[in-house]
Structure 1
Amino acid sequence: MAARATKSTTPAPPPARRGSPALKDATAIVGIGQTPFARRLEASEKSLACRAILAALDDAGIPPSQVDALASYTMEETDEVEIAKSIGAGDVTFFARTGFGGGASCATVAHLAMAIATGQASVGVAWRSRKRGSGPRPWRNTRTQLPTPAQWSRPYGLIRPADEIAMLARRYMHEYGATREHFFNVAHACRRHASLNPAAVMHGRPLTRDTYMTSRWISEPLCLYDNCLETDGALACVVVSADRARDCRRSPVYVHSAAQGLPAQHHGMVNYWNDDPLTGPSWTAARQLWKTADFGPADIDVAQIYDAFTPLIPLSLEGYGFCGRGEGAAFTEDGALELGGRLPLNTGGGGLSEAYVHGFNLITEGVRQLRGTSTAQVPGASTCLVTAGEGVPTSALLLRS
Structure 2
Amino acid sequence: MKIRKNTLLIMMILLTVTFMFANTKNVSAKVTFNKTSKSITKGKNYTIKISGVKNRSIKKVKLKYNKKIIKVKKLRKNKYRITGKKKGKTTLKATVKYLLLDYTPAVKTIKCKIYVKNKAAKKKKTNNKKNNDSEENIKPEIDWEENNIDKLLVQIEQSKNYKGMIYKLNDYTVFNKGEDGGEDQYGLITSPFYSTIDWYSKKDYDEIINEVKLIVKESKITDDMIDEEKAYRVGRYMVNHIDYDYNVYGQRIYETLFDKKTVCAGYAKTYALICRYIGIDCDFVCSYDNQNKSGHAWNNVKLGDYYYVTDLTGAYFTRNIYGGVSNFFREYSNIGEENIKYMDKYYKMDEYTEKHQIDEVDYYTRCKNEGKVYLKQKELYNLPE
- What band does the TM-score fall into relative to the shorter chain? under 0.3
TM-score by length of 1: 0.23
Normalised by the length of structure 2, the TM-score is 0.24
Query: Which protein is bigger by CA-based radius of gyration?
Result: 2
Larger relative contact order, structure 1 or 2 (CA cutoff 8 Å, min sep 6):
1
